[in-house]
Each structure stands twice: as structure tokens, then as C-alpha cells.
Structure 1
């Protein structure tokens, strides 16, 4: 309940700070986290290694001045190309976009709005998320995460992340009851679509979910995207798509709202072979 796939949106600045662990919606929208993650992604692994080993510098000994080039790349020894990939023979096609706003407000009603686009494919189990200058793709087929930024793509393994999430959810199920979606009978128009309201409650949170049917997205594909976040007990027989959610933290009195402003039906293609790749999937 404390998290939902739309926080994977923020895989752009999550996934262990770079791609993120799916955390609570409150954590996902923290401005500070976003800034740190943007910076980390921009540097990528090569930049981080250079920082650890030091940049080009001139070291002076007693008798000579020695030029020391400590620049390290993914192809340098001892790495030997372990993390690099000349090309990624992968193409993603999206045919529907949810243009959304997310905001977490404190008990005083203050909070910053984050604008996010979630891209879906009608017949493929992957989701693209776009925020500012970062485009992130979570592929649940080959269980890989692809982050695109500045003409580069960084690849990370999604399988271990999903496995850990499933184990955590299973353990939680054994220790406590996972709250169910309850249909309230209320309806609301969101982005031009009629939505049914569902209520989810536990001791810490109260969540209102507004689910629309018939927007043209394959429900099986949509439900598959929840594999990365089993903490939310999304109904297996649900045929709709969440267009709005409001989560109230009963302890700290914060409220997180995600609302779809527009459902855009247009095709987007991403050919990853055109991007310079850094493959970190062998590490994690």
C-alpha cells in the first residue's frame, strides 16, 4: 500500500538512488532525491569511477614532474569491457502515454509538483517513464532496466530487484494482512474518462484509487507492470487502469496525489542501438 507502480515512474531517480528501489510515494517525490539522482545518472558509472580514482593531475617528485593519467573507462583494465556494450539491439514501441502530475503535500499543504509521463505498449510488458531530461524503460520481459540520458543508455538488472520485492511482499503477507481494494460505488471523471473509486486502508495509510475501463490499454499488460511492486494488492481481475490516486499518511498527515491530466494515444519508438551503452546488469 505504501507504494505503487507509478512510483516506478520514478525509477528515473530511484533504483538504489540511480534507478531506484520503489519506495513510498512520499519518498519518491522528494525534490532532494531527484536532484541527487539526476546528478548520478548524468555522471554514469564511468564518471563515478573517475571520481574514485581521481582526475588527470600532475604529481611532483623530488627530481621530476610526472604526468599521471588516472582516467578510467569501462573498457580499461581491470574492467576489460565488463560493463560496456558497443550496441544494444533493442527497440521499444509505445502507443499510449499518461501525462501526469504528482505532488506530496505536508500537513501545512505545501509541496512541489512533479510532472511525469508514463508510456505503455498495447501488447508488450514494459513501461517507459519520462521526467525532465531522463527517459527510463523497465522491461519485464527480459527483466532489464534502461535509463536514457544525453545520448547514452545505462542498463541494470531488474530480476534481482523484482525477486527481492516479491520476497519482501511474501514475508509481509505472512506477518500481516495486506489491505484489499474495496469499491466505494463513487465515480469521478479523470482526463475525460469515467473512473470507479476504490478504497484501500491500513493502520498507516488511506488510499483512494480511481480506475478507468476502456482507455485502450491491454489490462493483462498493465497488470504485469505491478510485478516490480507486489506491495500493492492490485486486484487480479481488475480490467482498468489507475488514472488518479490520493494517499493519505495518517501518521505524519502528508498527502500524495497522482492525477492523469491527459491520455495521449500516439506512437513513440526508441531504438537503443543508437545510444552509447554502459551495461551494469552483470554487477547487480
Structure 2
């Protein structure tokens, strides 16, 4: 799954937490180092995705929400829901190099260090996960009323396509510019100049096993969201 999630990172020039390996995350959580959460985090809108995959012959389905910041605020959040598992909202604070996890059912919140530069560089330096520069195929289609360009990305293990909206649904243009610059600094890979916006659909296939992964945006919400630590116990 690490390969597929890193494709999302390259596409947007953001979401670096998905490029970080599970072992790195466990080390950060087990190190005892904590980051104090801010009182609240504000977002201008969100995308809802339905995801599906085949892993080791077993089907997987889930739901994701991506939350985008207002103006030039340098944060991002995502929530993943899986069957029989409690959902966790994770806020990525790029400026403070931290990840804040809200365990909503338990009303607990925890902040851990997140080395964004190291996460992206480690993944891109790995021959198995290092990917090619995204290439536009020339194909377009409409998703939820937004015209999207198809982009192709190759790695040693996966072939992936992303349908990227030509016009972002949210006023977070400054955020995407900052994250593109972050990606170039961390990995040395510039995004194509005309690769702008947000992917509304992602498809990937494992070259060896032929297992497929899919994420499709099913809802765009322009309703502002505020995630507050009030009423949460800090771990």
C-alpha cells in the first residue's frame, strides 16, 4: 500500500504522511516524544472518497475524507474509515512537523513528530517505490462536474493513473504551491507545470500480482470544518 499512497503524495505535492512507512510511524509513537496539539484546526472544505482494493486475494473497501485548509494555512487532514475499526482523524501540521491524531470514539488526542522531508526522501530513494515524473495522457473526463486530466505514473511495482481536476474545488491555491515546493526540496522531483488541482480518482495496479486499488471521489463539501481539542483527553 505504501507505493500507492506515495503516488498520491507525488500527485499533490502534499500528504507526506502517507509516504511514511508503518514502522516509522510506530517508532514515532513509541519514542515517547509528543507534540502539543493546537486548540483547534480549521478547514475550508472536504472531499469524500470510496476506496477499494484486492490485497492477498481478499477484497477491501473503505471510506476517506480529505480536508483542505483555508487561505495559506499549512495544514491538511484526512480521516479513514474501515469496517470493524474505529475511525481516526489525522491532522498534518507541515509548519510544526507534526501529526495530530483525534480518536473520536475515545475522545482522546495525541500529537507526534512527523519528519516530512525524511519521509518523502526515504520513499523516493527506495528503488521499489521511486516513481517516474507524472505524464499527461491527453485524455479528459468529468467527475462531479469537474473536468479532469488523466496522468500516468510508473514505479518498479505499480502502474497508476490519476484524474486531476483542472480547477481545485477549494480556495487553497497557496497550500498547493507550498506543498509543490516542499516536494521539490525533499525529493528533487518537480511537478509538471501544468499539473495543478486535486485528484478526484486514482487507479493503480500491481505489475506482479495484478491486484488493483481504486479511490473515487463521491462527494465535494464546501462546508467549513473545525476540529477542536475541547473535550478531548491529551495522551
1:253-268 to 2 correspondences below 5 Å:
253-268=210-225
TM-score w.r.t. length of structure 1 = 0.62
What is the Cα deviation at residue 184 of structure 1? 0.8
CA separation in 1, counterparts of 2:35 and 2:121?
31
The reply to whether residue 120 of structure 1 matches residue 122 of structure 2 is no
Secondary structure of the residue that 1:155 maps to in structure 2? Answer: strand
Name the residue aligned to 1:92: 41
Change (3 A) 1:4 1:190: farther
Secondary structure of the residue that 2:5 maps to in structure 1? Answer: coil
Secondary structure of the residue that 2:204 maps to in structure 1? Answer: strand
Matched positions, count: 214
Larger radius of gyration, structure 1 or 2?
1
Name the residue aligned to 1:156: 112
Residue from 147, 161, 181 that aligns with 1:208: 161
CA separation in 2, counterparts of 1:220 and 1:189?
25
* C-alpha RMSD of the superposition: 3.8
1:209-224 to 2 correspondences below 5 Å:
209-214=162-167, 215-222=169-176, 224=178
CA separation in 2, counterparts of 1:256 and 1:180?
20
1:163-197: CA deviation from partner (whole Å, max 9, x where unpaired): 32244256458x99741111111112222211000
Residue from 146, 149, 154 that aligns with 2:100: 146
Secondary structure of the residue that 1:221 maps to in structure 2? Answer: helix
Change (3 A) 1:156 1:5: farther
Gaps of 5+ in 1: 22-43, 46-78, 279-284
Name the residue aligned to 2:198: 241
The reply to whether residue 183 of structure 1 matches residue 136 of structure 2 is yes
1:217-265: CA deviation from partner (whole Å, max 9, x where unpaired): 4244135457589679572532211111111111111111111111110
More strand by share: 2
